[in-house]
Structure 1
């Protein structure tokens, strides 16, 4: 059977693409949020519409898979350019041969080679990682998950049931957890607040203008992006821990809550290891006071946040590890920087959406 690749037209092929996602991606359900997510991701992106390629079985005249890429403003050694954040790779089970998958992957790669975009990055599962490597993409690290336990109410309730014994046990154990908490040294130099932002303001732009020079490769965190990615997102609305000094924003953590867990979506801070440690210690302190049971942190394994998180008691969890890949044309002057994992600042907020 001959499989051909053609460019998708988002308006015409919207339903075909959504149907393919529903057939092949267990994370999605057919509901209003699913449709809203599609339109938000493909048409609402402040850096331009998403691009997609369809795999078509010519004999059956049907779409059997597709892949997409979303434009992302990136900074490489301080220079602004547009990269591609690859996403939504889906292919029907009976067509999951190496050939069909590689044809789809080559479509995006060839656009980078032609200079349409500076480079691409993606977060494939282990099976798809092989496909990426065969078409010439490079592994630049892994996304890993770490977690910190703040309170035992939820854990003991799950084990003992919602009864007085569990509540008394938690009341006795929680102070011990607080005694084991990281030192609050340095927290008094900054002012912290938990905020449900209605709109990210200019202070976030000013902070990113400083932070972008601390990292060789970093995706934009300007207000245009933050408001779209974290406030207009139909799947979740992020909250913010703000770290300020003398009225100026010095760092933040964006997170969303569910079942007593705060899942960190993004975090940046002006400064180096000391300021990073203070930001994360502030997060632990204020979320514990807010009644959160645990914090889940997913990020690139070479992210400088990770070393500080481990010192503060975050522990590795093996349930959410995936490869990070990147590709830049061999002729690009930025290829040596982009293809070196240690140069990247990446959180789960940089992943596909």
Structure 2
């Protein structure tokens, strides 16, 4: 079978791409909402998308996209992209068509449109990424903190014993969070205001690679998301200056952190957040997926977050030298940096 790569016109080919999603993403409810949000409202501009046409039928049977994202490399802005929406109809899922799409994707980086590309491919897609030149940046890990232990204990012991032991265990694992700092206050917000721009401007970005986190970006990424409801927790100092935030959602008695950022208040931020979450009797744990070497892991461990393996690698493509880009800088990549 022969195929042709076509660079998508996101106006003319909108229905082609959405139909591909419908056929390959059965869990994606109303894919039109994703297109409107991710492809038309992105503050960094529209994605670059390639379609794969089956020449015999003249139908589009695959696609792959690059979602633009402004990153900072050693405190200097650069336009990067997230490899996303890599789909091929089942009858055509072989190495050849997959490689054609991924080679089209990296050609945009080779031409200089993007400084680098990163992605979170699944285990089936990862070998294709690696074959065209992507390198593994690192594994993802899931950091988990128990909040209420009763249900977990009932999985291993009698409910009566769990009822006796759980209050003691709850107190022990949350002991570092008992005393709330008196020189800060915390609150929950409905949206990201101009204070987040000031926080982002003051965050040190030397010797690391981190995605831009302005109020405009954060409101688009989290508040405008048509599929998930997020909450914003912040801490401020005694002058009411924003010192850090956590973005999270709640599902199945677990709080899932998607983003966290602070300058010098990570410990206070995590302590205050845990105190607030512990008040919710229907929450058993806090979970946070991020790059295994992400600098914030140090603070999570201090607050008794324990590492659990996550079967997902982060890959990068860099025209000049992906290994060099990987080794020189600390990468700040967390769940919210994923391609959604």
Q: Is contact 2:74-2:206 (8 Å) kept?
A: no
In structure 1, C-alpha distance between the alignment counterparts of 2:326 and 2:21, rounded to whole Å: 29
- The equivalences for 1:248-267 within 5 A come to 248-267=241-260
TM-score of the two chains, using structure 1 as the length reference: 0.87
CA distance in 2, matches of 1:346, 1:186: 30
Among 300, 318, 331, the alignment partner of 1:328 is 318
Summarize the Cα distance change of 1:183–1:117 in structure 2 as closer, same or farther, 3 Å threshold.
Answer: same
In structure 1, the gaps of 5 or more residues are: none
Query: Aligned partners of 1:190 and 1:346: how far apart in 2?
Result: 30
- Asked whether the equivalents of residues 145 and 316 of structure 1 are also in contact (C-alpha less than 8 Å), the reply is yes
Choose from 104, 107, 111 the match for 2:108.
Answer: 111
What TM-score, normalized by structure 2, do the two folds share?
A: 0.90
Q: Could you tell me whether the CA contact under 8 Å between 1:123 and 1:325 is conserved in 2?
A: yes
Could you tell me how far apart the structure 2 residues matched to 1:185 and 1:217 are?
34
In the alignment, is the contact (CA less than 8 A) between 1:190 and 1:243 conserved in 2? no
CA distance in 2, matches of 1:20, 1:212: 42
Q: Deviations over 1:312-345 (max 9, x none)?
A: 2222333x421111112118xxx66633385211
As a proportion of its length, which structure holds more helix? 1
Q: 2:277 aligns with which of 257, 265, 287?
A: 287
Which among 56, 75, 78 is matched to residue 75 of structure 2? 78
CA shift for structure 1 position 233: 0.6
1:12 maps to 2:12: yes
Runs of 4+ off more than 4 Å = 153-160, 165-172
- Equivalent position to 1:206, from 191, 198, 202: 198
Q: How many positions carry a matched residue from both structures?
A: 338
Unpaired stretches in structure 2, ≥5 consecutive residues: none
CA distance in 1, matches of 2:178, 2:251: 29
Equivalent runs, 1:223-234 vs 2, <5 Å = 223-234=215-226
1:307 Cα deviation after fit: 2.6
Match of 1:191 in 2: 184
Q: In 2, Cα distance between the equivalents of 1:190 and 1:338?
A: 40
What does 1:115-130 align with in structure 2 at a 5 Å threshold?
115-130=112-127
Contact persistence 2:51–2:60 (CA under 8 A): yes
- What's the offset of the Cα at 1:129? 1.5
Could you say if the C-alpha distance between residues 104 and 256 of structure 1 is closer, same or farther in structure 2, counting changes exceeding 3 Å?
same
- Asked whether the equivalents of residues 207 and 330 of structure 2 are also in contact (C-alpha less than 8 Å), the reply is yes
1:168 positional shift: 9.9
Q: Which of 150, 171, 181 is the matching residue for 2:174?
A: 181
Which moves more between the two structures, 179-188 or 104-113?
179-188
Shift of 1:146: 2.0
* Of 302-311 and 117-126, the range deviating more from structure 2: 302-311
When the two chains are superposed, the root-mean-square deviation of aligned CA atoms in Å is 2.6
Question: Aligned pair in 2 of structure 1 residues 92, 303: CA closer, same or farther (>3 Å)?
Answer: same
Aligned to 2:290: 299
Where does residue 46 of structure 2 map in the other structure?
49
Asked if structure 1 preserves the Cα contact closer than 8 Å seen for 2:140 and 2:314, the reply is: yes
User: What does the per-residue CA deviation read over 1:197-226, in whole Å, with 9 as the maximum and x for residues that have no partner?
Assistant: 332111111111122425521000000100
